[in-house]
Amino acid sequence: MNSLESLNQQIISCRKCPRLVEWREEVARVKRKAYLDQDYWGKPVPGFGDPQARILVVGLAPGAHGSNRTGRQFTGDASGKFLFPALHRAGFANQAAAESRSDGLLLKDIYITASGRCAPPDNKPSLEELNNCQPFLARELKILHPKVIVCLGRIAFERVLKIYAARNSVNKFSHGASYQLEHGAWVLGSYHPSQQNTSTGKLTAKMFDAIWLKAKQLAARK
Ligand code: SF4
């Protein structure tokens, strides 16, 4: 087993945050009416994608009936319905649809992960829970050593800067802003493709396409 697989096994078996363990398992037991016939994942959700990726995408945390149900990042929820078509248009994914872990989706040059691995109530992990989960992200960054880190939302952005001990006061989050870290990798901020952002037009498909184009350009820099 390689280091990424071994890390993912550790993530899947983690029970460090009592509130989140209770919530993710309760949601998986009760289920949403539309998914009563499905087996929910109900565990921490590991990262997935191309282990040779130059670009790492960091989200917030699993949705209760999205990746907490399917077991794969952004799969089966409204954010994924916006994210994966954009990755497909940009040439990072072989298909736009992402419904389950066995849907045939393959990512190229992209690996997708999150700041927190367990679905939180109201989509809001506490600071303590994010801190508990941070070592997993730090290890992923060390193993994958990405050239570009696309942070979906302010929380992911600040978490990544915290791991690299970069100063937030200098590197402010904004959509499309990029910063080079001391070791040379780039951090690129993007609004999160949540339904709240996409349904209100805060994040449009055109704006999102520009992020993936910029990520490619940054990854190609020497
Ligand atoms: S959020 Fe992270 S640290 Fe907390 S239980 Fe889930 S995997 Fe473990």
Q: 61 CB under 6 A from ligand 1? A: no
pLDDT, tens only, 117-126: 999 999 999 9
CA of 15, closest atom in ligand 1: 5
Q: For atom 6 of ligand 1, which residue has the closest CA?
A: 118
Quickly tell me which residue has 């990042």 as its tokens.
73
pTM score of the predicted model: 0.97
Q: For atom 4 of ligand 1, which residue has the closest CA?
A: 17
Q: 14 CB under 6 A from ligand 1? A: yes
Rounded to the nearest 10°, the torsion over CA 219, 198, 195, 15 is 20
DSSP single-letter state for residue 107: B
Given a cut of 70, is residue 169 above it in pLDDT? no
pLDDT at residue 167 in the model: 75
The angle that helices 78-89 and 205-220 make with each other, rounded to 10 degrees, is 50
CA of 14, closest atom in ligand 1: 8
CA nearest neighbour of 75 among 53, 52, 55, 95: 95
pLDDT band of residue 161 (cuts 50, 70, 90) is: very high
